[in-house]
Structure 1
Amino acid sequence: MASDVVDDQDMSSSDPAIERAARAVELPEPWCDSAVTVVLPTYNEADNLPVITRALLALPLSALRILVVDDNSPDGTGEVAEKLAEELDGRLSVVHRTAKEGLGRAYVDGMTRALDAGADFVVQMDADLSHSPEYLPEMLGTLLATRAGVVIGSRYVTGGVLAEEWGLHRKLLSGWANFYVQRLLSLRIRDVTAGFKLWRASTLRDIDLESVGSNGYSFQVEMNYRTVLRGHKVMEVPIRFEERQRGASKMSFAVQWESALMPLRLRRRRRDLRP
């Protein structure tokens, strides 16, 4: 049960993700004290949530906060999140949504709350440890040094790596998705479907976050498109994209179908999305 998930073994510092996070690059002051909120949408991530939470809090970012947005997970993820919130004394908070409404709506809800709570920078990343927290200080440093509006943890720039567990079919599907979106929307982004990003709060406000219509993984594409159309600089830093070790993927045919149609819809709405 959920109460058994957050045990001493799960909360230990022996997990590789936690160890790597503890060795992450240290930023100078005041950058290391920036108000960063990590938004973690969850659905059936009870096994992963304690590990990624400890890894994030092991980073040398003193003001980092975590906001878990749970879509009423039947595996007890929401209960695990509440227990963590009690133990971490204000560094983690939880939003409980009554139904599984999709990745996009969870992110919009979580990001909006993070902005309202005063976050200067907002991180979006998966809770399944496919996005390693160790890259966040580098992403924040890049954002601050270049005046970018958003920094993407990219699989497809020089130095980016896919986990060895990825088969040829998945690699071809991912590569085709990037090519397809690029051809339709002319975005100069190498990893246009990436879900690991660090945003300036001002950029999220400028792109009118609450009006974003995408619900599934096409949310990533729409956010990029709005950002580029409004003239914000996009930077990419290489990451190693890990394979999920616990739990099941949320990719379904319906999600893939929406992702295929959304670039066409965005292209038709180009004039409406410009500032």
Structure 2
Amino acid sequence: MKKVVILPTYNEIENIGPMIERVFGLPEPFDLLVIDDGSPDGTAGAVREAMEREEYAGRIHLIERAGKQGLGTAYIAGFRWALERGYDYVFEMDCDFSHDPADLIRLWRACADEGADMAIGSRYVTGVNVINWPIGRVIMSYYASAYVRRVLGMPVRDCTAGFVCFRAEVLRAIDFDRIRMRGYGFQIEMKYSAWKLSFRIVEVPIIFTDRTRGSSKMSSGIFGEAFWGVLKMRFRRIRRADREPGVKAVL
């Protein structure tokens, strides 16, 4: 039952230390893989310091990349890294505490105990569970998911959610080379791929709280990519790309 949480970071020096402590303080063990895109604020350096602490030995890992290369490419690099090392469950999570680390256990249990292949930490499955977002952003996010459901027919309430647990089997089946979107549309594309490949997806209700430290990475270009990408996705054939466990992945 090897579990790893992937944290893409860019300028998260205020959050990375507390996040490491919270994840490693959980009653269930999780490893951490931080993928830092050249943060000038020293985020990667803080991760390297944590890696030297005896109590974290072998549980924190770091991939450093040159410059901002997009959320999607960071996660794909992390997925390949995790599959190569034989992890059974792989998680996506933001580093800014908008996702509560304690909910990692709930997502994992939805897969390990309740039979889900992919568990989504959902803001909208039981209404609108968002704290401290401007109303305009809540409306945009909520109706973005409604738009995705209408265009793709995918029965997921929170299509853009970035808090997810995957069974390794799901990631082995998705052809990463055919994932087109690099921003938050990537989240839609991964869910759609899993759904089209007939994996069981469940939504676990969470409370999403906007960050209190650091700055958001959201931009209008991210929404534009997702809007047009969803239209194109509807006509794309989703093919299975089974990878055998233990086969070396190319980063």
TM-score in same-fold range (> 0.5)? yes
TM-score if structure 1 supplies the norm length?
0.84
What CA deviation, in whole Å up to 9, does each residue of 1:33-75 have, x standing for no partner? x21000000000011001111111111123x110000000111
The answer on whether the counterparts of 2:175 and 2:239 sit within 8 Å (CA) in structure 1 is no
2:50 to 75, 78, 84: 84
> Is 1:65 aligned to 2:31, yes or no?
yes
What is the rounded CA distance, in whole Å, between the counterparts of 2:223 and 2:127 in structure 1? 27
2:103 to 118, 132, 135: 135
What SS class does the counterpart of residue 47 from structure 1 fall into? helix
Cα displacement (A) at 1:93: 0.8
What CA deviation, in whole Å up to 9, does each residue of 1:200-254 have, x standing for no partner? 0011111123432210000000001100100000001110101101111001122
Q: Quote the residue 2:129 is aligned against.
A: 161
Q: Quote the residue 2:41 is aligned against.
A: 75
TM-score if structure 2 supplies the norm length?
0.91
2:190 to 203, 223, 226: 223
What SS class does the counterpart of residue 69 from structure 1 fall into? strand
Report the RMSD for the aligned CA atoms in angstroms.
Answer: 1.2
Q: Quote the residue 1:150 is aligned against.
A: 118
Q: Quote the residue 1:214 is aligned against.
A: 181
Q: Quote the residue 1:104 is aligned against.
A: 72
The answer on whether the counterparts of 2:91 and 2:164 sit within 8 Å (CA) in structure 1 is yes
Aligned length, in residue pairs: 238
Cα displacement (A) at 1:159: 6.8
Q: Quote the residue 1:117 is aligned against.
A: 85
The answer on whether the counterparts of 2:146 and 2:157 sit within 8 Å (CA) in structure 1 is no
One-letter identity of the residue aligned with 1:231? S
**Higher RCO (C-alpha under 8 Å, 6+ residues apart):** 2
The answer on whether the counterparts of 2:142 and 2:158 sit within 8 Å (CA) in structure 1 is no
| Higher fraction of helix | 1
| Cα distance, 1:159–1:171 mapped onto 2, change above 3 Å | closer
Cα displacement (A) at 1:146: 2.7
2:23 to 24, 41, 56: 56
Runs of 4+ aligned structure 1 residues displaced above 3 Å come to: none
What SS class does the counterpart of residue 113 from structure 2 fall into? helix
What CA deviation, in whole Å up to 9, does each residue of 1:76-108 have, x standing for no partner? 111111111112211101000012110000000
| Structure 1 residue runs without a partner (length 5+) | 1-33
Q: Quote the residue 1:273 is aligned against.
A: 238
What CA deviation, in whole Å up to 9, does each residue of 1:90-142 have, x standing for no partner? 11010000121100000000111011111100000101110111111111111
What is the rounded CA distance, in whole Å, between the counterparts of 2:96 and 2:46 in structure 1? 15
The answer on whether the counterparts of 1:42 and 1:127 sit within 8 Å (CA) in structure 2 is yes
Cα displacement (A) at 1:168: 1.5
What is the rounded CA distance, in whole Å, between the counterparts of 2:21 and 2:128 in structure 1? 24
